[in-house]
Chain A
């Protein structure tokens, strides 16, 4: 392709910085660049890790001796609830996502992620949500019911204060940020790899992140749904989990673990991805079996959705279900085993060098394998009945999570430190840090297995003398402080290396992947020119890549147009399809997240008018957000590209937005499926379930409403088809009319609802159906708003034959809305159809 030789490096850099540069001062809140956002995620996650660690130290102090009363049960319950919540939602997922956000574009040779504003928005949501959640601890009203929030303990009767609301609202807020990062990562990995990087040329880390991001997309919605339902039960009295009114508390457990078990793999997979990246570099050879690893990662992703019930073996489930879930739980050992043995074979056949990151990887292997083995034990039902909800499980989960996430993460931190800062850490301090953490960890948690089997349940703030629990608990407490010492040493090392570390130079570990072809620390644009990359180990094959990239010898090194550009490539082959232009820095993500956090807070204090104002305000901001797109002067008004280059993505039908909406709808679909699961679960299991024999609403009107919706969706589809053929005659008027149809549909739907005999607070069936109608209205309403916006944009000339891209993005939303309508319709008709009384 384009080999523009001899360009002036400094001039190129200056030109790129004009377009890509990050502002300083208070304007830094507008930065959307993935390098900055990724580092912000990691640093914020690190701060929460320290807070969670402090909570753990407080708890271990309380448990150090029997019958202590340093911390009473009220505070202790807050501490263990927040410790789990903080470590899972505020540290592990965001920190790993942050690392992925930082690395992925660099590894696949792109300049940024494809939805930079969404990434920044995700960060602000995470930050504000976390602050709201942590403020509850400061106010002394933190959640007290554990990170698993089992009902009925968390319903309005047994948790009347705002404690549980903090969890439900705060975590939902943070999870939405998680899902948005997940969508962004999936689309970026699939659509913005450097030219020629086929799917099987991607660094393994990208595979891991791809699977993790997809797992987030499908795994978070069940909990988001569960949290919304529980919050509705608490505030509006809709009885989804109340036995007496036809709900079932075990439904919450299903929804929670439907999320909760994939969650474990969501934090394990990226960490394993770090192992698969580092190990070959330190073994001085490629990984021996790339395809086996890819297969294992995908298999893990699938299996992890089929074993949530092993958290619920003591609930009293049917024997067959227990056997099935035991087997699936054990099967997951196979893909994990494949990865471990591929790593072993890589070391065996390579020429390993012994560096600090390797030390952490050895620690990982020992701890994680031990945790995996106790996991297999716990999958054995007879043993599970003894060990479940004891300190044995506490030990097991820390082995898995600290071994499987923290150790590889720290290994990765040491490995990429030179990339972040351009300097090397101190070898001596690093070794001290490792050994303290490793020894402290095993001191704390090895003996804890025994503590559990000796009869110590989880989540107790104290224990009596005379049960034989005194000594093991004291040992664990001492170990906890040794871990703290280790963590402090590592932090000290990292802090000092910024000042005293020796310069790393480029590619200090002699690594193979593209992220080391940027400068260290990297510039906001990553690469001046984007290299074609048809191999798995670009830097081993072209050691001078960094130089040629910086000299602009590869593609897309023009900047005079003032656009942020990166390649849009084929998801499988990596062939170039179009140029993707990316939005620049913006206040919108910050302010949208801010208004949403106002909504969150006003829901917490139950001032619903302010919440409504906040929702409207954030809707306006979001509309403004989507306004500055495509042919808008703030985006890419001029579609001219260099001769020989493909068009800009906003001038095609195949941009990242289409992929983004499809993945988002996949998450939405997962939420809808969870809702159907909830309905059928209650229908078949809840002891006092009552589905009415007569329809609670006017089905003819409902049918008419669905007819209008289907017409609108069909019409929209036709408009897009005509647009694809190159005709945009009457586009604007058609969009207005479609929106009108949609409005008529919404009005009818509201009529049906207000006219119905649904008593959402009296029984669970009515509550679920009401929620379904709400869900439908939300989607129909958004479809209308988006269509109106498109019609307006046609009027402004931002959308049309020349820039047809956005109309195509809205189309899947219409189709999805129609689909869920008809499924809901069938579900609503079902009980009376069964009773024969339509």
Chain B
């Protein structure tokens, strides 16, 4: 039996969760533990959700007096919109503790469990016993090449762009990588050649000339040219990524608030409140207004765009755009405390019609 210990940290009722040996789905722990403030909070979040069934709740609070079920056997209750109205019960393994997102919908869970990774499939049935690393490497050897060629296609990979911002950044990366590799190899080759070539006897004048050539050519001209080229690409590129006003249309606004260790998503003009799952339409720019309710977090969905910090007391705006419908994994990128590693966000991109229907059905 795993032990859960909930402790009131101070009058602000922040929670410390001590788990002995196993990662705990803190959200469910909070609710299951019956901590008052969080119950209240949960109710607040649920409230609009009761009207709008889009609220995806991770877990139902356990009634007082009811025996606390084993964590891994806790039941997830999912409410889904009428579009695919069905109730699902699923088992949730504590080891798969990126809780809220992984459990949101059935389709989601499937992809998270097996569909996503290409090389993971080729590494095949993994054994979790003796010498896993060696086993791992042995099975990995043949796919090493594949890995470097096709390894960029993870569901959270910045090199697998699915939107214009991420695409621009990844192109920038490949460009910079090739130039940098060239410079590095050239420099090391020159250095090694300088060390092992047959020394010549040079006059002072020759030495002076060689030196000047290196300094002016290598240390001044080369970096200045590269910096100029980079900036001429980079500044407009960064500018285009900004949430600039658009001609003729107003981008959809979504509010995201970071909390230890979950995301609250709201759609202004509606009373939809979602947890850890962000719905947005494909093909149109969306402005995500982010802030934080406690510590600093960072909003990052690598396949769509770069990250932006969520800082208490201020609101930052990130322009997102997805080329096509799909599901994209995001994760908090600024260290935010104990369960930082499990602060996962799922972005569900729908066609504009589906999104509209989803929005209106709430």
Residues of A within 8 A of B (CB): 64-65, 67, 69, 72-74, 77, 144-146, 150, 152-153, 156-158, 160, 243-244, 248-250, 288-289, 292, 314-316, 319, 322-323, 326-327, 330-331, 333-334, 337-342, 344-345, 347-352, 354, 358, 362, 365-366, 369-370, 373-374, 376-377, 380-390, 450, 453-455, 457-472, 474, 477-478, 686-688
Per CB-CB distance, the 7 closest pairs between chain A and chain B, nearest first, are A385-B306, A455-B156, A243-B313, A468-B154, A460-B341, A337-B219, A316-B316
How many pairs, one residue from A and one from B, have CB atoms within 8 Å of each other in the complex? 320
Q: Are A468 and B119 in contact (CB under 8 A)?
A: yes
Q: Are A467 and B116 in contact (CB under 8 A)?
A: yes
Q: Are A382 and B120 in contact (CB under 8 A)?
A: no
Q: Are A316 and B311 in contact (CB under 8 A)?
A: yes
Answer yes or no: B169 CB below 8 A from chain A CBs: yes
One digit per residue, 1 when the CB lies within 8 angstroms of any chain A CB and 0 when it does not, for chain B 55-99 equals 000000000000000000000000000000000000000011010
- Our pick among A354, A373, A389, A465 for the contact of B298 (Cβ within 8 Å) is A389
In the complex, A562→B177 CA distance in Å?
Answer: 64
Chain B positions within 8 Å of A362 at CB level = 191-192, 195
- Our pick among B173, B187, B316, B332 for the contact of A340 (Cβ within 8 Å) is B187
Known: A69-B95, A144-B338, A385-B307. 4 other contacts (CB 8 A): A150-B296, A323-B235, A344-B191, A471-B147
Answer yes or no: B50 CB below 8 A from chain A CBs: no
Chain A positions within 8 Å of B239 at CB level = 319
Answer yes or no: B35 CB below 8 A from chain A CBs: no
Q: Are A344 and B218 in contact (CB under 8 A)?
A: yes
A460, A466, A467 pick with most chain B CB within 10 angstroms? A466
| B 166-211 contacts with A by CB, 8 A | 166, 168-170, 172-173, 176-177, 180, 183-184, 187-188, 190-192, 194-196, 199, 202, 206-207, 210-211
Answer yes or no: B157 CB below 8 A from chain A CBs: yes
In the complex, A649→B223 CA distance in Å?
Answer: 48
- Our pick among B166, B215, B235, B296 for the contact of A289 (Cβ within 8 Å) is B215
Identify the closest chain B residue to A153 (Cβ). Answer: B295
Q: How near does chain A come to B217, taking the closest CB pair, in angstroms?
A: 8
In the complex, A778→B9 CA distance in Å?
Answer: 36
Answer yes or no: B326 CB below 8 A from chain A CBs: no
Q: A67-B95, A362-B191, A468-B153 known; A249 and B335 CB under 8 Å?
A: no
Identify the closest chain A residue to B192 (Cβ). Answer: A362
Chain A positions within 8 Å of B136 at CB level = 65, 470-471, 474
- Our pick among B114, B177, B207, B218 for the contact of A349 (Cβ within 8 Å) is B207
Chain A positions within 8 Å of B357 at CB level = none
| B 268-311 contacts with A by CB, 8 A | 294-296, 298, 300, 302, 305-309, 311
Q: A386-B169, A464-B96 known; A345 and B210 CB under 8 Å?
A: yes
Chain A positions within 8 Å of B119 at CB level = 468, 470-471
Q: Are B311 and A250 in contact (CB under 8 A)?
A: yes
Q: A157-B10, A334-B219 known; A465 and B154 CB under 8 Å?
A: no
Q: A316-B308, A380-B176, A461-B341 known; A454 and B151 CB under 8 Å?
A: yes
Answer yes or no: B117 CB below 8 A from chain A CBs: yes
Chain B positions within 8 Å of A369 at CB level = 183-184, 187-188
Query: Could you jot down 21 A-B contacts, CB within 8 Å?
Result: A69-B22, A69-B95, A73-B341, A145-B337, A153-B295, A153-B296, A157-B10, A316-B309, A331-B227, A344-B191, A352-B196, A352-B199, A362-B191, A382-B169, A390-B158, A453-B152, A453-B159, A457-B340, A461-B341, A466-B120, A474-B140
Chain B positions within 8 Å of A144 at CB level = 337-338
Q: Are B215 and A292 in contact (CB under 8 A)?
A: yes
One digit per residue, 1 when the CB lies within 8 angstroms of any chain A CB and 0 when it does not, for chain B 221-239 equals 0111011001100110111
Q: A72-B23, A345-B211 known; A314 and B298 CB under 8 Å?
A: yes
Identify the closest chain A residue to B237 (Cβ). Answer: A382
One digit per residue, 1 when the CB lies within 8 angstroms of any chain A CB and 0 when it does not, for chain B 332-354 equals 11111111110000000000000
In the complex, A829→B155 CA distance in Å?
Answer: 57
- Our pick among B22, B151, B214, B308 for the contact of A385 (Cβ within 8 Å) is B308
| B 226-276 contacts with A by CB, 8 A | 226-227, 230-231, 234-235, 237-239, 241-242, 260
Q: Are B230 and A65 in contact (CB under 8 A)?
A: no
Q: Are A330 and B154 in contact (CB under 8 A)?
A: no
- Our pick among A72, A348, A382, A390 for the contact of B21 (Cβ within 8 Å) is A72
Answer yes or no: B41 CB below 8 A from chain A CBs: no
Chain A positions within 8 Å of B43 at CB level = none
**Range for the number of chain B residues in contact with chain A:** 35 or more
Q: Are B219 and A338 in contact (CB under 8 A)?
A: yes
Q: Are B23 and A69 in contact (CB under 8 A)?
A: yes
In the complex, A338→B211 CA distance in Å?
Answer: 10
Q: How near does chain B come to A713, taking the closest CB pair, in angstroms?
A: 41
Q: Are B215 and A386 in contact (CB under 8 A)?
A: no
In the complex, A468→B19 CA distance in Å?
Answer: 28
Q: How near does chain A come to B76, taking the closest CB pair, in angstroms?
A: 18
Q: Are B302 and A386 in contact (CB under 8 A)?
A: yes
In the complex, A116→B22 CA distance in Å?
Answer: 53
In the complex, A370→B242 CA distance in Å?
Answer: 30
Q: Are A160 and B331 in contact (CB under 8 A)?
A: no
Q: Are A459 and B227 in contact (CB under 8 A)?
A: no
In the complex, A338→B214 CA distance in Å?
Answer: 9
Chain B positions within 8 Å of A334 at CB level = 219-220, 223-224
Q: Are A381 and B120 in contact (CB under 8 A)?
A: no
In the complex, A746→B346 CA distance in Å?
Answer: 61
Q: Are A288 and B242 in contact (CB under 8 A)?
A: no
Chain A positions within 8 Å of B312 at CB level = 152, 243, 249
Q: How near does chain B come to A575, taking the closest CB pair, in angstroms?
A: 30
Q: A73-B338, A464-B96, A468-B154 known; A388 and B184 CB under 8 Å?
A: no
Q: A455-B331, A462-B341 known; A386 and B157 CB under 8 Å?
A: no
Q: How near does chain A come to B26, taking the closest CB pair, in angstroms?
A: 10
Q: How near does chain A come to B195, taking the closest CB pair, in angstroms?
A: 5
Chain B positions within 8 Å of A462 at CB level = 23, 341
- Our pick among B22, B154, B237, B308 for the contact of A467 (Cβ within 8 Å) is B154
Q: Are A380 and B98 in contact (CB under 8 A)?
A: no
Identify the closest chain B residue to A243 (Cβ). Answer: B313
Identify the closest chain B residue to A455 (Cβ). Answer: B156
Chain B positions within 8 Å of A374 at CB level = 180
Chain A positions within 8 Å of B155 at CB level = 455, 466-467
In the complex, A471→B117 CA distance in Å?
Answer: 12
Q: How near does chain A come to B327, taking the closest CB pair, in angstroms?
A: 13
Q: Are B309 and A457 in contact (CB under 8 A)?
A: no
Chain A positions within 8 Å of B147 at CB level = 471
Q: Are A373 and B308 in contact (CB under 8 A)?
A: no
Q: Are A74 and B184 in contact (CB under 8 A)?
A: no
A243, A289, A349, A459 pick with most chain B CB within 10 angstroms? A349
One digit per residue, 1 when the CB lies within 8 angstroms of any chain A CB and 0 when it does not, for chain B 2-46 equals 000000011010100011011100000000000000000000000
Chain A positions within 8 Å of B202 at CB level = 349
Q: Are A326 and B337 in contact (CB under 8 A)?
A: no
Q: How near does chain A come to B231, taking the closest CB pair, in angstroms?
A: 7
Q: Are A382 and B168 in contact (CB under 8 A)?
A: yes
Chain A positions within 8 Å of B333 at CB level = 314, 388-390, 457-458
Q: How near does chain B come to A4, taking the closest CB pair, in angstroms?
A: 39
In the complex, A774→B187 CA distance in Å?
Answer: 54
Q: How near does chain A come to B128, taking the closest CB pair, in angstroms?
A: 8
In the complex, A470→B118 CA distance in Å?
Answer: 12
Chain B positions within 8 Å of A323 at CB level = 235
Q: Are B307 and A388 in contact (CB under 8 A)?
A: yes
In the complex, A361→B97 CA distance in Å?
Answer: 45
Q: Are A457 and B195 in contact (CB under 8 A)?
A: no
In the complex, A338→B10 CA distance in Å?
Answer: 55
Q: Are A377 and B337 in contact (CB under 8 A)?
A: no
Chain B positions within 8 Å of A150 at CB level = 295-296, 334-335
Q: Are A373 and B180 in contact (CB under 8 A)?
A: yes
Q: Are A348 and B234 in contact (CB under 8 A)?
A: no
Q: How near does chain B come to A335, taking the closest CB pair, in angstroms?
A: 8
In the complex, A462→B331 CA distance in Å?
Answer: 13
Q: Are A383 and B199 in contact (CB under 8 A)?
A: no
Answer yes or no: B123 CB below 8 A from chain A CBs: yes
